[in-house]
Structure 1
Amino acid sequence: MKFKKTHDIDQISISLEGKQVVIGGWVEDLRKLGKMSFLTVRDVTGLAQIIVKDIALPEDLTRQTVIMVQGVVQGTKARDFAYEIKAEAIDILTKAVHPLPIDPIGRLESNIDNRLNSRALDLRNQRVAAIFKIRSTVLASLRKTFLEKRFIEITTPKIIGSASEGGANLFSLEYFGKKAYLAQSPQLYKEQMTIGLERVFEIASFYRAEKSHTGRHLSEFTSIDLEAAFMDYTDVIQILEDLVVQVFKDVIANCQTELAILERKLEVPKTPFDRITYSQIISELSQKGIDLKFGDDLMDSHLKLVGESHPGLFFLLDWPMSLKPFYIHPRDDDPKISRSFDLQYGYLELSSGGRRLHDPSTLKARIAEQGLDPASFEDHLRAFDWGMPPHSGWGMGLDRLMTVIIGTDNVREVVLYPRDPERLSP
């Protein structure tokens, strides 16, 4: 580079009139009017107009080429800019080779598969960039709230030696002559962590070998997980509600530019979220002609009907024990009902959680009841003999939460490089 960058574009204003600046970015537009040329240059923070008059414009300059511009800030008559930069020198850093696989400005629409095939270039589209700026804000908000509530961030293994949680939908791999799996959740590890750290959270990628072809399923997804000792499921429900509400507040406070680009009006959810029981849902579906009995699972078709009556955020409580994993605790007053919940946004499940079993003998019995081999959980069960506290927790899909925030029904829009049964590259 011939020059050293002095400013991001959003740091420049008319208050710097007469000052020399150096910016770097890519050429979004190029217009030649006689002996004068106008460039619009964009970096990740914004767009600037460059006037080229007293110097020669490079003949091989193309749109999307990366350049550095040294120039002086001056006033402008342009309607869309508060200032312009009169170029003194232009340095071409990397030429963009045309034709490009997609139009990153978005004037020519591309389908999502073509965009994903050229994802790095797709990020120059301001609508796409806005999504991932919002995602960054969401992650920062989550961590801030967890830490304020005195949770400790952990990192659990993603390569595991046994098929945890029953082994359904796990990717297997060869690991130095042994069979291993990619973790589908941190469930067992985060429970164990409550022994010493009490309140833990993790935000990480997990893997599910599910041949689902929907707008809400991925083979690799980002999960937000919490586990807390000495808390019941009602306590962690409240933490989840607080967390989601704070995310909305932080996005609204910090991402107005991005929301405007997306033409998205976001409002803070009303609290408390509705609490609706599984039995209530069965009754509501019965009134719509769907005959389900207690213990039947809710299919997608059922949840879409539920979403018509409950379009916003709500907790779906008190599921039958028969539908829940082996580690979920039953209610004391009715052992057929679990101390569990899902957080729904209409038909879309965002989170699932509940109170966990902490008595080792009861846990072993539940594992056997579900047809699982207790020997596969030997390491996990051993921790329960060291004084396991009562604990509760949940897991929430970050990618699904993002679809709610930006208003899309396709989770691939909010993941940089999504992995599904058909997509393994780039």
Structure 2
Amino acid sequence: MERVYVKEIDFLNGKKTTDRILVKGWIHKIYDVGQISFIQLRDKTGILQLVVDKKLREGLRIEMAIEAMGEVALNQKAPKGIELHVKELKVIGKAYYDVLPFSINNGEVKAHLETQLNHRSISLRSPKIRAPFKVQEEIVEAFSVFLKSQGFSEIHTPKIIASGTEGGSEMFTVNYFETRAFLAQSPQFYKQMMVGAGFERVFEVGHAYRAELHNTWRHLNEYVSLDVEMGFIESEDALMDLEEAFIKFLFQHLEKTCKEELKLYGVELNIINKIPRIPLLEAQKLLLDECGKKSPVGNIDAEGEVLLSKYIKEKYDSDFVFLTKYPASKRPVYTMADGDLEGMTKSFDLIYKGLEVTTGGQRIHDYEELKENMIKFGLRPEDFDFYLEGFKYGMPPHGGFAIGLERITMKILNLDNIRQASLLPRDLKRITP
């Protein structure tokens, strides 16, 4: 007999049936009442109440994996008004623990986050703790569907590389057959190369690595990056237009596919209209005038992001704001200068509920200009011949952006810590499990 998932049983729409069905999952809870027991079976799609005779109940304990066959019946007191009257039950995964590390069947897991992460395969059994990863799955799906509808091609680029894409010391080194190599900070060079190779519009979902000495609620050393690069653009506004359209599409998609997960976190997604676009210098002045907050040179800090988002929410009723026109000194070597503003670039960040979730901008596409900029940054162009080659043969104006998957998941669900949005997080102190 073919297995039926809990969510599929909901589609019976309250109709009683005498047909027997087979379900499989873990024992979530057990309630003994006289000669029968009510067992909550949990699978990846939800929870179903089983009504089990005392004889079938013997030897069962929480978190055992079981399969049960029976008939569906209506019961308003059961979860979603449906239960299964079990005729046959079999243990297919024994449980050998003395005591669970923490309770996972009472809605909220009370254990400290570090304890949850130490026992990740257990904590993820909690429907609420696992919910962010259903949301992540659908973010990636929406990203792919939307960009393909806009003529983008999906690519997969190397994560072991010969040189850094953004410079600096924040790179993990790898011994690659006695040659020093690095883990990629981003696919930046490669996605630009693919634009010039004729793909024109590309995207990638892949891991990125940052050897940053941060141990905060917002940082990971390994994360998933949603990358976009688009050729034949007029300006960075085309990139912001694209991301704005994607976010609208994403929220509509999540409302359709993640109703239960959003409900678990009490989230209602706001309709996305036009996202405000504010030059960095203007944002810094606004923070100083409105909040008395002085910003660091060429940027705004974490506190500034929060204060600015609060102001934007009150004034524009938007959870998002694009910060534009960053100084060249704070942007990577490939960033296009803004001809109208001395020392500034055609770049942007997207701030969402007080946190930067995207960095992007137009790139330098002229070979000689890019070489000259590399020299200004203290780099040797000959070390980047593999990257520069395509620029010799007619590179179109282009640009792109990258969205941090864990960060946007965290902010959509209003999570407290980015590790809650990472399946198996890697941070300054954690490399297992």
Structure 1-normalised TM-score? 0.93
SS of 1:74's equivalent? strand
Q: Distance in 2 between matches of 1:246 and 1:92?
A: 43
Code of the aligned partner of 1:307: S
- The equivalent of 1:23 in structure 2 is 23
- The equivalent of 1:137 in structure 2 is 138
Code of the aligned partner of 1:280: E
SS of 2:81's equivalent? coil
1:105-184 map, 5 Å? 105-106=105-106, 109-184=110-185
> 2:200 aligned with 1:198, yes or no?
yes
Do 1:163 and 1:376's aligned partners in 2 also have CA atoms closer than 8 Å?
Answer: no
Do 1:160 and 1:181's aligned partners in 2 also have CA atoms closer than 8 Å?
Answer: yes
Q: Distance in 1 between matches of 2:343 and 2:76?
A: 73
Instruction: Report deviation, 1:375.
Output: 2.4
> 2:332 aligned with 1:328, yes or no?
no
Instruction: Report deviation, 1:78.
Output: 3.1
- The equivalent of 1:360 in structure 2 is 367
Code of the aligned partner of 1:179: R
Match of 2:212 among 198, 210, 213: 210
CA change 1:36–1:158 in 2 (3 A) is same
1:22-421 map, 5 Å? 22-53=22-53, 56-76=55-75, 78-96=77-95, 97-106=97-106, 109-195=110-196, 196-231=198-233, 232-269=235-272, 271-287=273-289, 288-290=291-293, 296-311=298-313, 312-421=319-428
SS of 2:41's equivalent? strand
Do 1:131 and 1:406's aligned partners in 2 also have CA atoms closer than 8 Å?
Answer: yes
Code of the aligned partner of 2:51: I
* Structure 2 runs not aligned, ≥5 long: 314-318
Q: Distance in 2 between matches of 1:24 and 1:416?
A: 24
Instruction: Report deviation, 1:21.
Output: 1.0
Deviations for 1:360-406, whole angstroms, at most 9, x for unmatched residues?
11111111111122222121112211221111111111111111111
CA change 1:413–1:160 in 2 (3 A) is same
Instruction: Report deviation, 1:101.
Output: 1.4
CA change 1:275–1:16 in 2 (3 A) is same
Q: Distance in 1 between matches of 2:176 and 2:353?
A: 41
Q: Distance in 2 between matches of 1:181 and 1:88?
A: 58
* Structure 1 runs not aligned, ≥5 long: none
Do 2:295 and 2:301's aligned partners in 1 also have CA atoms closer than 8 Å?
Answer: no
Root-mean-square deviation (CA, aligned residues, Å) is: 1.9
Do 2:164 and 2:185's aligned partners in 1 also have CA atoms closer than 8 Å?
Answer: no
Instruction: Report deviation, 1:76.
Output: 3.2
SS of 1:166's equivalent? coil
Q: Distance in 1 between matches of 2:179 and 2:312?
A: 48
Code of the aligned partner of 1:66: A
Do 2:162 and 2:181's aligned partners in 1 also have CA atoms closer than 8 Å?
Answer: yes
Do 2:16 and 2:74's aligned partners in 1 also have CA atoms closer than 8 Å?
Answer: no
Code of the aligned partner of 1:35: Q
Structure 2-normalised TM-score? 0.92
Q: Distance in 1 between matches of 2:71 and 2:299?
A: 66
Instruction: Report deviation, 1:340.
Output: 1.0
SS of 2:15's equivalent? helix
Instruction: Report deviation, 1:162.
Output: 1.8
> 2:11 aligned with 1:9, yes or no?
no
CA change 1:387–1:90 in 2 (3 A) is same
SS of 1:250's equivalent? helix
CA change 1:330–1:81 in 2 (3 A) is closer
Deviations for 1:189-223, whole angstroms, at most 9, x for unmatched residues?
11111111000011111100001111111000111
Q: Distance in 1 between matches of 2:361 and 2:37?
A: 63
CA change 1:52–1:346 in 2 (3 A) is closer
Code of the aligned partner of 2:67: M
Q: Distance in 1 between matches of 2:189 and 2:76?
A: 63
Instruction: Report deviation, 1:413.
Output: 0.7
Do 1:328 and 1:354's aligned partners in 2 also have CA atoms closer than 8 Å?
Answer: yes
Pairs aligned (count):
420
Q: Distance in 2 between matches of 1:166 and 1:91?
A: 58
